[in-house]
Amino acid sequence: MTISPRDKNAPRDIDAPAIIAAKPDVTKPNTKKVFIKTYGCQMNVYDSERMADVLAPIGYAPTEEPDHADLVILNTCHIREKAAEKVYSELGRIRQYKEKNKPDMKVAVAGCVAQAEGAEIMSRAPVVDMVLGPQTYHKLPEMIAKVHRGTGDLLETEFDTLEKFDQLPELRQPKGFSSFLTIQEGCDKFCTFCVVPYTRGAEVSRPVAQVVAEARQLAKHGVREITLIGQNVNAYNGVGEDGNQWTLGQLIRHVALIGGIDRIRFTTSHPRDMDDDLIETLGSEPKLMPYLHLPIQAGSNKILSAMNRDHTYDHYKNLIAKIRAARPDIALSGDFIVGFPGETETDFQQTMKCVEEIGYGSSFSFKYSVRPGTPGAGLPRQVPEDIKQDRLVRLQALLYKQQHDFNLSLVGKTLDVLVEGRGRKNGQLFGRSPYLQGTHFDGPESLIGQIVKVKMTDAGRNSLIGDWVE
C-alpha cells in the first residue's frame, strides 16, 4: 500500500502525517494488527495513541506496516485547506489495495474531518466501515463488533468529551520518554478562520484527579517529560482535589510534585486566557520549561478584530513583557496567518513589525485558506493567492532568521537535554533542549532516557549540535 511510515526523528509538520505504533501490552493476546495514520496537531497524536490503548484489550497490536493491518484508521485534521480531499485520495488508494490484496481489511476514518463530514464520507467512500469523531474513539471496540456483526450505527460523531476520558483505559503504552497528555478539549473562542469549535465542541476540562492519575501512569512507564495539551490549554478549569475549579497554573504546580516527571510543557495557549497565576508559575516552577507557544495570528488590530481574537496587539505585547519579566530566559513561539480577508499591505506590515518587536525562537506561519462553514469564508475582500504567497515568503524569511539567530545565541551555553534515542550517525545521540530544538551529540547509549548536560557548539535553523559534558 502507498501509506508509509515517517522518520520519527524528523521535524513534525502539521501537513505530514505521523504514524502511531505504540508498544503493545505483552500481557494481552494481540492476534490482529492496527495501522493508525495521524494528520495534524498534538491533540490528534494523543488521540491516536489512546486509540491504540483502547484497541489493545480486544487483541489489536499497532503496526507500522499498513500491508499487514487488519484495521486501518485515518485520524484526520480539518484545519488545513483541502483536508477532506486528501482523505478521499488516501481512501482511494486504500480501496484499491484492499480489493486487490486484503478484502477482509477494515477501514475507519476518525478525527475532525470525520466530525465535519461523517455522513458524506460514508456515502462517498464505500471502503469506509466506520466513522467516528474526536470525542467518540472510546467506542471503537463497540463499533468494530458492529462491523463484524453487520448491525448497528457505524457513524459516531456526538460530543461527549468527559465520557470519552471516563471510558479510556488507565493503562497507557508511551513510546518514549516524552509524552502528550490532554487536559482540555474544545474551544469557545470562535475565531472566524477556525473550524475547531464546530469539530471539537465547547471547552471542557478534565478533572485534576484524572489528569494526575494519567501522569502517574506515564511516569511509571518511564516518561520524564509531559506536555499538557488542549485547544485552549490555558483556559483549563478542571475540578481540583479540594472541589474547587483549578487554573492551569495550579495544575502544573500539582503535576510537578509527581516523582519521575522532571519536565513539564503546555500548548496551545490563547492570549485571552494568559492569567497572572500562570505567568507567576512560569517564573517559579523549575520543572516548567522556558518555552511558550502563544499565537497572535496578526499584528494589525483591524485584522485581529475581523478574526474575532478579542485582543489587540498592545494587549499581546504587554503580556509578553510580563512573561519575560517573570521568566527572562523564555523563548517564544507563535502562529501567524497572512492574507486574511481585507488584509492590506499596511496591515501586513504591522504583522512584520510585531515579529520584529517581539522576537520569536520558533514559529508557524500560513496563508489564510477558506474553511466552509466558518464566518471568514463569507467575508468580502478575499486576498488573491499571489499576494498571500508573496507575503508569506517575506514573513517566513524574517521568522526563519529569528529562529536561526536564537539557536546561534545558544552556542557556547550548556543546556539540559533529554536524550530520546540514537542519532543518524554512529555513536551519535538525539535529544531535546529546554527550548524543544532537536540536539545531536556523541555519547554512549546508556544515556538514553536521561537528562544530561550538553555544551552547544553549532546551530542550524532547526537543531543544535553539542558536546556531552561528562
| Alpha carbon distance 281, 254 (integer Å) | 11
Please report, rounded to a whole number, the percentage of residues in the chain having pLDDT higher than 90.
62
Top-level CATH class of 174-289?
alpha beta
Write the single-letter amino acid at 158: E
CATH of 18-160 among 3.40.50.12160, 3.30.2320.50, 3.40.250.10, 3.30.70.250 = 3.40.50.12160
pLDDT score of 337 more than 80? yes
pLDDT of residue 359: 98
- Exposure class string for 12-29: b at 16+ Cβ within 10 A, else e: eeeeebbbbbbebbeeee
pLDDT of residue 16: 43
Q: What is the pLDDT of residues 186-223, one digit of tens each?
A: 899 999 998 787 777 889 999 999 999 999 999 999 99
Q: Is 270 left (phi over 0), alpha (psi -120 to 50) or beta?
A: beta
Task: Output the pTM of the full model.
Answer: 0.77
List, in sequence order, the alpha helices (H) in 297-375. 301-306, 313-326, 345-358
Segment 288-299 mean pLDDT: 98
In terms of CATH architecture, what is 414-468? Beta Barrel (2.40)
pLDDT score of 164 more than 90? no
- From the list 322, 45, 306, the residue with the least C-alpha distance to 181 is 45
E strands in 147-301:
155-156, 178-182, 184-185, 204-205, 225-229, 263-267, 291-293
Q: Binding site annotation covers 77? A: yes
pLDDT of residue 244: 96
Helix then strand then coil, % of the chain, to nearest 5: 40, 20, 40
pLDDT of residue 22: 40
Give span(s): CATH 3.30.750.210, the chain: 174-289
Give span(s): CATH 3.40.50.12160, the chain: 18-160
pLDDT score of 421 more than 60? yes
Segment 413-441 mean pLDDT: 97
Give span(s): CATH 2.40.50.140, the chain: 414-468
| Alpha carbon distance 168, 148 (integer Å) | 22
Top-level CATH class of 297-409?
alpha beta
Give span(s): CATH 3.30.750.200, the chain: 297-409
How many CB atoms lie under 10 A from the CB of residue 284?
12
Q: Binding site annotation covers 354? A: no
- From the list 296, 297, 277, 298, the residue with the least C-alpha distance to 288 is 277
| Alpha carbon distance 318, 314 (integer Å) | 6
pLDDT of residue 143: 87
Q: What is the pLDDT of residues 70-115, one digit of tens each?
A: 999 999 887 665 667 888 888 999 999 999 889 999 999 998 888 7
Segment 402-420 mean pLDDT: 98
| Alpha carbon distance 198, 159 (integer Å) | 10
Beta-bridge partners for 32: 60
pLDDT of residue 67: 84
Look over the chain and give the mean of its residue pLDDT values, rounded to a whole number. 88
